A and B are shown apart, each in its own frame.
Chain A
Amino acid sequence: MPTLPITARITLPPSAQRGEVVTVRVLVRHPMERAVDAPGLTPLPRKILHTLRVTYAGEEVFRMALSPGIAANPYLEFTTVATETGDLVFTWEEDGGTLYQREARLVVT
């Protein structure tokens, strides 16, 4: 399935040593429309990024289900162990099936 680019900020340390625990910070631009229907509001269908999957050197290292209670432009942080220099691939799935993807390179020394 084709993926689309998305505005995101992925923060990794500039480099890491093999075996080091690295912190990965992810901010993504998305309205996370949670389908609130209340007086004075225009009802919109729910449209959130419901899943984030992260692979590192081809292997899945992080997966998260995001709920409608999460604010717009969701921020999250996780850790992984640096094994080899490789790409972290972030794939978000939106309601409706659209996939968004971004990559970030982790340099291991």
Chain B
Amino acid sequence: MTGAWRGLLPLTALLLGGADVRPTQEYLSPEIREAQEDPSRHPGWLWVEEGEALWRAGEKPCASCHGGIAGMTGVAARYPAVASDGELLDLEGRIERCRTQHQGEASFGRESEALLALTAAIALQSRGMPVAVATDGPAAPFLEEGRRFYQTRQGQLNLSCGQCHDDNAGRRLRGDVISNGLGTGYPAYRLEWNTMGSLHRRLRACSLGVRAEQFPPGSREYLTLELFLASRAKGLPIEAPGLRR
């Protein structure tokens, strides 16, 4: 590579970076991609079934206000979103709030089987729909925070998210293909975990990967990052419940 080309590289990456964000399913192996589309082979559907049962369960079930779960169509595509009190909520956060404020029940807790199951069942209703998060108005400052987090070099490896997920997307890392780092498939069944997990759990794995601080699921850092990732995914299809390596 000549010196002149080397100088141009960041510019080309910059030009491509914004435009060339592809859905994660295009980075999956053909086998995983096929299984992701096949409920008879996708273990995530075990959680979906449990979530659909939870939708109708309890003293004051979700269904008593919202009706059938099919009424949740398109909801997952709009999260994370800013609530009326100004707090940024992801889909899990919204469900937990419903539990404690409207249903009078104890919250499930982040990464609990029940919360993952209910989130997966609700997200499924938006499968294939384009991501349509609001990034203006009250969401704008959160978006900027998430963007800053995404662009900041972190950890002992001193890497920013984009150095893998923009500059090296499509290349291999530790036996897998680097995607554009979208959250559209979460909650997802990850083969490495042998179970369902949230996007925040996946982000913790990224933080660990660059030897940076791991934030707890539901933390402001990951919530704002999730919003920024969703803004990158605008117009791309929801894949949840996803299937990942």
Contact = CB atoms under 8 A, between A and B. Distances in A.
Interface of A: 7-9, 11, 25, 27, 29, 31, 71-73, 75
Contacts of A73: 43, 46, 194-195
B222 interface: no
A3 B195 CA distance: 25
Given A27-B46, A31-B194, A72-B194, 7 more contacts: A7-B46, A7-B49, A7-B50, A8-B46, A9-B49, A25-B41, A73-B195
A4 B11 CA distance: 62
A71 B194 contact: yes
B141 interface: no
Contacts of B39: 9, 11
A27 B40 contact: yes
26 contacts: A7-B49, A7-B50, A8-B46, A9-B39, A9-B40, A9-B45, A9-B46, A9-B49, A11-B39, A11-B40, A25-B40, A25-B41, A27-B40, A27-B41, A27-B43, A27-B46, A29-B43, A29-B46, A71-B191, A72-B194, A72-B195, A73-B43, A73-B46, A73-B194, A73-B195, A75-B43
B61 to A, nearest CB: 19
Q: Interface residue tally of chain B, by bracket?
A: 10 to 19
B210 to A, nearest CB: 21
Contacts of A31: 194
Interface string B42-54: 0101100110000
Nearest to A8: B46
B194 A75 contact: no
Interface string B10-54: 000000000000000000000000000001110101100110000
A4 B73 CA distance: 35
Enumerate the 6 nearest inter-chain pairs by beta-carbon distance, A residue then B residue, closest first. A11-B40, A72-B194, A73-B43, A25-B40, A29-B46, A7-B46
Contact of B41 (A29, A72, A75): A75
Contacts of A71: 191, 194
A7 B196 CA distance: 15
B39 to A, nearest CB: 7
Contacts of A9: 39-40, 45-46, 49
Contacts of A72: 194-195
A96 to B, nearest CB: 21
Contacts of A27: 40-41, 43, 45-46
B46 to A, nearest CB: 5
Nearest to B193: A72
B236 to A, nearest CB: 28
Contacts of B43: 27, 29, 73, 75
Interface in B41-99: 41, 43, 45-46, 49-50
Nearest to A23: B40
Nearest to A71: B194
A27 B49 CA distance: 12
Interface in B157-202: 191, 194-195
Nearest to A27: B43
A48 B45 CA distance: 21
Contacts of B191: 71
Contacts of B194: 31, 71-73
